[in-house]
Structure 1
């Protein structure tokens, strides 16, 4: 028997939801750093930087220290990018969850609760300019409660919600770094429909993409 329940969001969940979203996003930072360091263009830049520093300073130690400083600065810039994205979301739909998701019949926000603790969340929202597409948004489960079927149950809740309201397609976006999420969606029957590189400088440099998945809802 599942040791969690899924219920509709309440105002008392506000802080837990926002913290869960922020922590979930920041979890992807180490994997993103590792991905960037594996890029041939990034390795080339680091190599050229090291050689240039070595030629100028004539010191391997100073060159290595300077390279470490460059790496640290790069990680801080990437961390700032993640924080800016979290702040943006928390100023938009997650600023007033009641207004964003609970005020319309075609949107909703749910949380998963275990032993009185909010351990997961997901949202459904009608896609702009479409009467047939619903969006699955803000899926997240706290780290110590994963692999218990919570994320799958939350997804199924959104699928049922969309079906009950007559929508034909459920759509979502996921970053290339979210491998576990991609596997989850595919196991539930979602199919990848598009793959777009982020238009930012970092996105173009790293070929960092956002994938769109769709689930065709059966009557």
Structure 2
């Protein structure tokens, strides 16, 4: 069985069945290897925000800082001080932006629900962070390409998202149980993205990747 909806990252169709649980079916793209759910399974914006409002991300929580350090530490090793960055999908408590500011960088904030400042999306940056964001994106191709276009030459895009497990394990994978998670990436997905962008790809772990834009 196949589905006729196109991959939301590379537009390939048809997609192949990947896994099913009691609430949703999941489909994989043969080209970019992104696993995704049908748009019919998307939550409404109101339901989506209600889910985000339940998240407890305390900027004073050392465990939350350690979690974000998975991205901050390797990114800071690659940045010149000072650099200018954007924390995309920063949420109501932008701790990552605070951490990067403490390291000597200037930060802009954007979040569709909590910091919906469209002006920051018209500017260009030395680096952009997207931590625990990519899996929520509905128009994933539009947003990732838009972020890439906002990077200056030599700039870095840091993405933190859990990379999916194999199809037999997927139905029991905790990460897909959040109904706001609709797009799931693998290392092969990021390799495909890097090829499309002619980018340098550093796969830091099974949840953090860094992509560097070519310098002029």
Q: TM-score, with normalisation over the residues of structure 1? A: 0.28
User: Hey, which of these two has a bigger chunk of helix by percent?
Assistant: 1
Q: TM-score, with normalisation over the residues of structure 2? A: 0.29
